[in-house]
Amino acid sequence: MCGIVGYIGNKKASPILINGLLRLEYRGYDSAGIATIEENEISVMKNQGRVNSLYELEGINDLKGTIGIAHTRWATHGKPSKENSHPHQDNSNSFAVVHNGIIENYNELREFLTEKGYNFLSNTDTEVIPNLIHYYFNKDENNDENRILRAVKSACSDLIGSYAIEILSKYNKNNMIVVRKDSPLVIGKGNGENYISSDIPAILSYTKDFYLLDDNEIVKLSRNKVMFYDENLKEIQKPVKSIEWGASSAEKGEYADFMLKEIYEQPKAIRETIGAKLDNGIIEIQGLSLDREYIKSLNKIYIIACGTAMHAGLVAKTIFEKLCKIPVEVDIASEFRYRNPLIDENTLSIYITQSGETADTIAALKLAKSKKSKTIAISNVIGSSITREADYSIYTHAGPEIAVASTKAYTSQVILLAILGMYFAQKLGKTDKEIISNLKKDILQLPNQIEEVLKSSDKVKQFAKKVYKEKDMFFLGRGVDYAVSMEGSLKLKEISYIHSESYAAGELKHGPIALIENNITVIITMTNSKLVEKSISNVQEVITRGAKVLAITSEEIKNNGFEEIIKIPKTNPLISPVLSVIPMQILAYYISKEKGLDVDKPRNLAKSVTVE
Ligand code: F6R
């Protein structure tokens, strides 16, 4: 939930660190700080507030150090404040540390260190780390070049929880140490310099060559060398991976916000996610090889994810059940992992996660694996943590998603899942070939159809101007239109702070209709000709009670009292969320803009939820 950057080279570190933090700010933005080594002493500068608040600190531009660590915080332990911001130091100011993750046993470690005479200046879990390193460093009588490395290793073996940590020491101004466990961290390889970051896009403008770290690996960086060690400090070798994303994919370009850019990138994201998968008669998905006998043996498919990714899973449930006739259960990762789910070797489980770093989703996958389920991870980030745990990893190719509110990742996930459903169906041979080939044609048309929908954005913008001051809204739909309504409702909540609920349209009169009052806004989605009449009847019930209704539909409907109708192109109802979600994303976006909010960095949220 926090962002980490590091630099070691021959340039002044502080501008590189702050620039990296600005790009990682979507991961946390309640305080920020940097540490560099200035003439053999560690210099720490930190402030409460956004990364830009660092520029208010006197002397920040005078930092000359060419080695440094930096952090943007999303508070977990200890409220946002200068004292609680990172970097944290040990009592002797010999070590400085930035940390992303949670140290679960920090209370015990604090007690232990207090008994040994250490004091604590913050309320964070992190502050135990530099003091623990100092404690082990002092205990070690062997003053060789690996003394700091050994102290870090010993400190880490005391830590329970998740962490990505960067360590700077005044005892060695030519080295930096980093370590990760269950928290993301990558090393960018430069020429005579090396970079560290929580994610790839933040340092893409400096390098395209990366080392991806596995859990419990410790890294010692110097200007010209990166050395990797396992948890027992045995040296290991790691390959460099070149990343194909261009630096501009992590820039806003001509757009006012990343979210708007990402909404408009959806045709491209879908085209790239489809790639060559549908080019031949037989559907092939790179990274996946499941045989017919195995798919036939399945008694159930679980789809596990959080937030928007879970909403993509709800759409996939309908697709899989329709095409493969296998029961599908969709669950929220944080629930699944603690409810002893009924899984065995005949249960396939699929994990959807844009970042590939969501702690609950990764834990759910590990649980299912321990119960002998085969696991497929669907991620947008090559080499992300989940892809190193799953039996199979398949990728959406949406490009970096920077805005906290997910848009292009959702539509890409729905498409990849639809193709996955077709892959299973083709192997099973149960579904009419014509159904599959028609669905294929419909999928291939989607990018152009999204472009069509984007053209109606002005109409949605005008509607946003009418309703942005409201306190509550409702999103209704049936079948996949209900699933996509949940996503529309979440988008609105996240970035406009308007309370909203989504309901299955037929469920309204079983309670929630009591909340419908004069002038309330209701958004109804209708993309299935078999259900449209039913949905229209439900919506009449709210129009009669004074609701202002925006209809998103691919059907020819009469305007029986709708405030506005947004017409979207017709497609197979199974994949219609890829089109119907677009007006909802645009609506949330323009409401947020009308309210003058920070669209890309909504309050209290962070892009990547690497803690439980
Ligand atoms: C909402 C949103 C979140 C994420 C959720 C899972 O716009 O982005 O609900 O979908 O935190 O994140 P990933 O997909 O990275 O596992």
Instruction: Write out 331-395 in H/E/C secondary structure.
Output: EEHHHHCCCCCCCCCCEEEEEEECCCCCHHHHHHHHHHHHCCCEEEEEECCCCCHHHHCCCEEEE
Coil, strand or helix: which one is 241?
strand
- Ligand 1 environment, Cβ below 6 A: 306-309, 353-355, 358, 361, 405-406, 490, 494, 608-609
Return the pLDDT at 259. 97
Catalytic residues: 2, 607
- From the alpha carbon of 361, which atom of ligand 1 is closest? 16
Report the distance separating Cα 209 and Cα 187, nearest Å.
8
Reported as a single tens digit per residue, the pLDDT across 575-598 is 999 999 999 999 999 999 999 999
On average, the pLDDT of the chain sits at 94
For the ranges 178-192, 245-259, 328-342, 441-455, which has the lowest average pLDDT?
245-259
For residue 329, report the distance from its CA to the centre of ligand 1, in Å.
19
Is the pLDDT confidence value at 384 over 80?
A: yes
For the chain, what percent of residues have pLDDT higher than 70? 100
Report the distance separating Cα 65 and Cα 257, nearest Å.
33
Helix segments in 166-325, DSSP class H: 258-264, 266-274, 292-296, 307-324
User: Sheet of 328-332: strands edge to edge?
Assistant: 328-332, 300-305, 347-353, 374-379, 392-395
- Ligand 1 pocket test, pick from 74, 337, 358, 604 with the greatest ligand atom count within 8 Å of Cβ, gives 358
For residue 550, the cross-strand partners are 523, 564
Report the distance separating Cα 560 and Cα 575, nearest Å.
27
Q: Tell whether omega for the bond before 87 is within 30 degrees of 0, i.e. cis.
A: yes
Q: Which of 529, 552, 549, 530 is nearest to 540 (CA)?
A: 549
For residue 410, report the distance from its CA to the centre of ligand 1, in Å.
9
Q: What contacts 558, CB < 8 A, 6 or more positions away?
A: none
Name the closest-CA residue to atom 3, ligand 1.
307
Q: Which two tokens stand for residue 77?
A: 């332990």
Q: Which two tokens stand for residue 556?
A: 């020819």
Q: How confident is the model at residue 518 (pLDDT cuts 50, 70, 90)?
A: very high
For residue 327, report the distance from its CA to the centre of ligand 1, in Å.
25
Q: Which of 526, 573, 529, 581 is nearest to 323 (CA)?
A: 573
Return the pLDDT at 606. 78
Is the pLDDT confidence value at 417 over 80?
A: yes
For the chain, what percent of residues have pLDDT higher than 90? 84
Name the closest-CA residue to atom 8, ligand 1.
406
Angle at 7 between CA 5 and CA 13, to 5 degrees: 105
Looking at residue 277, the DSSP 8-state letter turns out to be T
pTM (2 decimals)? Answer: 0.82
What is the helix (H) or strand (E) element at residue 409, kind and residue range? helix 408-428
Q: Which two tokens stand for residue 427?
A: 């192997």
